[in-house]
């Protein structure tokens, strides 16, 4: 399976703490994207990192990509209750045209 | 520039009826994905379309499901003779030619009764 897999499946932290989610994948990618989904809503695009990039920042988000380990991590700093959502990684593989999603990490930020 | 628009947001169909789900991509976007999501699960790829062309339909069930993206108008996902197992949220996403950064609509929640 080429499907990316997020780890952990669920994460619960206190407001103000940092949250780290990981994503592993199987074969060579063009890029990797992170999305957020609030319960019952659509997906919001957070950040895209290309295969030749190692780190990218956007506000309180930091994404890293290690192509040798075929893994990516999403760090949310100074978390807020509003960050409570499911987070998905999606990979664009060189061998396929589709965007492949993992099963997600459910993040709960407690006030 | 409006985002990706999907309609209807909620659709209820009786078993055996047809369901038509519409997706209007962002302005200027030439490619559309369709995904299905069951409760508490991730998104499962269904089909990837360019205007007037199906690029990848490897995720589409062999029967009852079809998709199109005409030169003019929205992309349509059509499910014929719906069954209870078709109940799910269906999401579409669009992107520019040559750029795979995809933006999602709010989804259509199909309930088959």
User: B91 pairs with which residues across the strands?
Assistant: B35
Distance CA B110, CA B35 (A): 13
The pLDDT value recorded for residue A100 is 87
Q: Is the CB of A99 less than 8 angstroms away from the CB of B33?
A: yes
Q: Is the CB of B33 less than 8 angstroms away from the CB of A35?
A: no
List the single residue in A42, A43, A97 with the smallest CB-CB distance to B56.
Answer: A97
Residue A64: pLDDT band by 50, 70, 90 thresholds?
A: very high
The pLDDT value recorded for residue A4 is 65
Ranges under pLDDT 70 in chain B: 1
The pLDDT value recorded for residue A27 is 83
Residue B97 CB contacts under 8 Å (≥ 6 apart), including other chains: B30, B31
The pLDDT value recorded for residue A2 is 37
Residues of A in contact with B105 (CB under 8 A): 42
Q: Examine the pLDDT at A68 and tell me if it is beyond 80.
A: yes
Q: Is the CB of A88 less than 8 angstroms away from the CB of B55?
A: no
> In a 3-state reduction of DSSP, which class is residue A53?
coil
Q: Is the CB of A41 less than 8 angstroms away from the CB of B106?
A: yes
Mean pLDDT over each residue of chain A, to the nearest integer: 90
Q: Is the CB of B105 less than 8 angstroms away from the CB of A96?
A: no
Residues of B in contact with A104 (CB under 8 A): 42
Strands B108-112 and B88-95, sheet pairing: antiparallel
B82 to chain A, minimum CA–CA distance in Å? 22
Q: Examine the pLDDT at A55 and tell me if it is beyond 90.
A: yes
Which residue is listed with tokens 């009852």? B64
Q: Examine the pLDDT at A1 and tell me if it is beyond 50.
A: no
In this structure, the number of other CB atoms found within 10 A of the CB of residue B52 comes to 10
> In a 3-state reduction of DSSP, which class is residue A83?
helix
- pLDDT tens digits for range A13-52: 999 999 999 999 988 888 999 999 998 788 999 999 999 9
Nearest CA in chain A to B41: A103
Nearest to A105 by CA among A46, A20, A28: A20
Return the structure tokens found at B103: 């933006």
A52 to chain B, minimum CA–CA distance in Å? 15
Distance CA B87, CA B13 (A): 9
The pLDDT value recorded for residue A96 is 65
Residue A81: pLDDT band by 50, 70, 90 thresholds?
A: very high
């Amino acid at each position: 399976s080429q499907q990316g897999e997020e780890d952990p499946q669920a994460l619960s932290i206190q407001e103000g703490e940092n949250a780290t989610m990981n994503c592993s994948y199987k074969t060579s990618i063009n890029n990797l994207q992170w999305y957020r989904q609030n319960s019952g809503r659509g997906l919001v695009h957070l950040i895209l990192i290309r295969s030749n990039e190692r780190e990218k920042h956007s506000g309180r988000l930091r994404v890293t990509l290690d192509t040798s380990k075929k893994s990516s991590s999403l760090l949310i700093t100074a978390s807020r209750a509003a960050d409570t959502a499911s987070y998905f990684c999606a990979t664009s593989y060189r061998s396929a045209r589709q965007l492949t999603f993992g099963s997600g990490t459910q993040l709960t930020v407690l006030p | 520039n409006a985002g990706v628009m999907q309609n209807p947001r909620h659709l209820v169909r009786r078993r055996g009826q047809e369901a038509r789900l519409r997706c209007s991509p962002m302005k200027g976007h030439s490619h559309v994905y369709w995904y299905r999501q069951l409760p508490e699960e991730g998104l499962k790829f269904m089909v990837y379309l360019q205007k007037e062309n199906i690029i990848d339909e490897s995720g589409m069930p062999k029967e009852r499901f079809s998709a199109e993206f005409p030169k003019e108008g929205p992309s349509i996902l059509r499910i014929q003779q719906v069954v209870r197992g078709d109940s799910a949220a269906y999401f579409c996403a669009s992107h520019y030619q040559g750029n795979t950064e995809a933006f999602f609509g709010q989804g259509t929640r199909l309930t088959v009764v």
